[in-house]
């Protein structure tokens, strides 16, 4: 977490190999980021993700590409693949839209397609950059349940950038606060002991982040 412009998305992009750091080395899942031998080990939902309006693919097809990235394009889809795709689509409550073209969906619905695509491969690491900004409260709750399911059932790790940590406060192992540099790195309990509550309202969050130095 951190205020606007503190470097959260930049750090994620470096971690994912989308940007090259000016100094230092990055290792992701033991490999060079951006050149993973199995890209499906990683799920990534970028901030403000949108599909091209004329993309001729349905919700199911887009979510299935996330599954195939993990299990190989050459393999014929099995029942378990179809089930994982259906499960991911239902997890973001897009069941009734599964055959719609993604470009026709609203911005918040497109964001939920991105989340489903990332969830469908049961990634070992799921990287989410403000995934629920612009997503309604009920979908946020379902998303939280899916992430907890991923962590508990599939042993996945989740790296989440968010201004809305209230919904997941109880599930966090570690909190890193950025403000051009790392100003806090520790457990939620340690953060609380410095007088900061994760249950704070989203609109107050930038204020108390400003106070951390
Ligand atoms: N490739 C780049 N080269 C130089 N500066 C950059 C680059 N990418 C981003 N920046 C700058 O780095 C700063 C941090 O940007 P970044 O997008 O990481 O912030 P953020 O913490 O994700 O903010 P927000 O909460 O608004 O999403 C900004 O001032 C941005 O303009
Ligand atoms: Mg950002």
Specify the ligand 1 atom closest to the Cα of 130: 27
Give the residue, by CA position, lying nearest to ligand 1 atom 13: 5
Is the separation of the CB atoms in 159 and 173 below 8 Å?
no
Give the start-to-end residue ranges of the domains of the chain.
38-162
Indicate the fold that domain 38-162 takes in CATH. Answer: Rossmann fold (3.40.50)
Alpha-carbon span 57 to 78, nearest angstrom: 20
pLDDT single digits (tens) 136-189: 777 777 777 777 777 777 778 899 988 766 667 777 899 998 888 898 899 988
pTM of the predicted structure, to 2 decimals: 0.83
Reading the block at residue 86, the tokens are 């259906």
pLDDT single digits (tens) 15-49: 999 999 999 999 999 999 888 888 888 888 888 77
The binding-site residues of ligand 1, defined as CB within 6 angstroms of any ligand atom, are 2, 4-10, 19, 47
Distance of CA 155 to the CA centre of its chain: 16
């Amino acid at each position: 977490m951190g205020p606007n412009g503190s470097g959260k998305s930049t750090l994620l992009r470096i971690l994912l190999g989308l940007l090259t750091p000016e100094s230092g080395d990055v290792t992701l899942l033991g490999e060079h980021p951006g050149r993973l031998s199995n890209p499906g080990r990683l799920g990534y939902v970028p901030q403000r993700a949108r599909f091209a309006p004329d993309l001729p693919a349905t919700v199911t097809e887009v979510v299935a590409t996330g599954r195939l990235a993990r299990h190989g394009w050459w393999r014929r889809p099995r029942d378990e693949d179809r089930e994982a795709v259906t499960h991911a689509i239902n997890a973001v409550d897009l069941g009734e839209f599964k055959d719609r073209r993604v470009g026709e969906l609203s911005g918040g619905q497109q964001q939920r397609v991105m989340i489903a695509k990332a969830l469908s491969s049961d990634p070992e690491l799921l990287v989410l950059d403000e995934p629920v900004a612009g997503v309604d409260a009920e979908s946020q709750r379902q998303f939280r349940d899916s992430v907890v399911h991923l962590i508990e059932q599939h042993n996945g790790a989740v790296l989440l950038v968010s201004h809305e940590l209230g919904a997941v406060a109880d599930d966090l192992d570690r909190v890193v606060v950025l403000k051009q540099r790392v100003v806090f790195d520790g457990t939620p309990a340690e953060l609380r002991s410095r007088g900061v509550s994760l249950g704070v309202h989203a609109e107050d969050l930038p204020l108390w982040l400003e106070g951390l130095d």
